[in-house]
Structure 1
Amino acid sequence: MFEAIQDVLVAIWHQDFNALLTPGSATLIYILVAMLISLESGFLPAAPLPCDSIVVLVGTLSAVGVLDPFIAFPMLIIAASIGSWLAFLQGRWLNKFPLVQSWLAKVPEKQMRTVDALLCRHGLVALFIARFVPGVRSVLPMMMGMRVDEVPRFHRFAWLSASMWVFLLAGMGYLLPSLPEPISRLVTMGLMAAPVITLCIGILTGVTWRIRKALRSDLNPTA
């Protein structure tokens, strides 16, 4: 049993489509995919997991009959939503630590009010965008756990964003087998590269913002 789990896990990690076509592997695929999606969505150390491509793979496996889309798609949504909820709870838990409270106390009140307003007003959009950025996928719900008091509102955002994320990626994976092979290969490569590109854009944006802020501070030392 352990060897079967290991084989399926390795096949999922390496996107080995042929290995996943083995009869009787569907149940293990459901369980392992749900665990990976929940971990990556809920815990920052699990950010390197290739969950975007796994969601696409699940859509393709559903298209060829290995998985049932009426089971696989809801399972992905539930796993992603549970992961976001776990991250949210971590934010609530961390917010009780004096060290975290001291960090937050150093942020100007005006900026914190702006953050709160953005999280409340644009929570769905923010969570949806964060779904496509490894690492941010778990950090943003954690930040909402620290700052957002309306738990039902968070759940609505989390479930809606998870549903859109799954139906977009898994839906594209479901369509891949019906596309001509050259187009299918290009689409697959684009989907695999998208999270890395998005992460690089986010890092560059953050670095640029820090540099511009430092330059403004140098030009206006009294500001």
Structure 2
Amino acid sequence: MEQLYQLAQAMIHNDLAVLSNPNVTLMVSGVILFFLVMENGFIPTAFLPGDTLLILTGVLISQDILHMGIVPLLMVATFIGTALGYLQGYFLGHTQTYHNLLAHIDDKHQQKAHYLIDKYGILTLLIARYIPFVRTIYPYIIGATGISRSRFLMINVVSSILWIVPLVSFGYLISHTKLATQYQTQFMSIIIYLPVALLLIGVATLIYKWLSKKSPYKP
């Protein structure tokens, strides 16, 4: 935790001596890729801040902290995560485990996923990528329906590209705006701490739900 704090401080203050360290770059890349796999592939970790991490990646690329070569790796991580979700739905779709996993997600997100699937079918993945939680449960539901794996994997590739490229590009472009350049310290603080704040909120919500289920209120 202390290393992550020092890393955040180094990015905020543009400490190139720290940020240019290959070990630091490798750690940052590894954390981002790991989070993308977990958020897209496993329902209990659907709260991870995928969108903001991709925007942060674009900013870090613009600051020469990360290399542009990470973009294909982001696509691979997203593809793998979603494929894992599909396989879990495919093999567990008719078991109680499947329903137990979906129970981690609020009904409103499940209803939205089912609505999109009913309306757009497997093409929903192109839309669901931009909807937190829905992009995680969608592969489970599609896998449980038994839709062709080859068709799903093809859509998975396309949707991964259409999610990664725009958000990373957005982060790259906004870091070159006049406002971001003029208030660079404040800008970097927001970009870095936003995904951290979302992560902490997600963890707190998860713990609260777990405690609520463990100790139900009895009037």
Q: Normalising by the residue count of structure 1, what TM-score does the alignment of the two structures yield?
A: 0.64
Q: Secondary structure at the match of 1:178?
A: coil
Percent sequence identity over matched residues? 26
- Other-structure match for 2:76: 78
Contact 1:90–1:145, Cα closer than 8 Å, also in 2: yes
Question: What is the distance in 1 between the residues matched to 2:41 and 2:118?
Answer: 18
Aligned pairs (5 A) from 1:129-208: 129-181=127-179
* Residue matched to 1:214: none
TM-score by structure 2 length?
0.65
Larger RCO (CA under 8 A, 6+ residues apart): 2
Q: CA RMSD in A?
A: 3.5
One-letter amino acid of the counterpart of residue 146, structure 1: A
Structure 1 pair 142/180, CA: closer, same or farther in 2 (3 Å)? same
**CA–CA distance in 1 between the matches of 2:61 and 2:148?**
36
Runs of 4+ residues over 3 Å off in structure 1: 16-21, 98-101, 117-122, 182-185
Which structure has the bigger radius of gyration? 1
The unaligned stretches of length 5 or more in structure 2 are: 100-113, 199-219
User: Is 1:46 paired with 2:50?
Assistant: no
Q: Which runs of 5+ in 1 are unaligned?
A: 102-114, 197-223
CA contact (8 A) 2:125 2:156 kept: yes
Q: Name the CA distance, whole Å, in 1 between partners of 2:70 and 2:15.
A: 15
Structure 1 residues 20 and 143: CA distance shift in structure 2, 3 A: farther
CA change 1:176–1:169 in 2 (3 A) is same
CA deviation vs aligned residue, 1:135-154 (integer Å, no higher than 9, x gap): 11110011011013310111
CA contact (8 A) 2:174 2:180 kept: no
CA distance in 2, matches of 1:45, 1:133: 16
Contact 1:59 1:171 (C-alpha < 8 Å) held by counterparts? yes
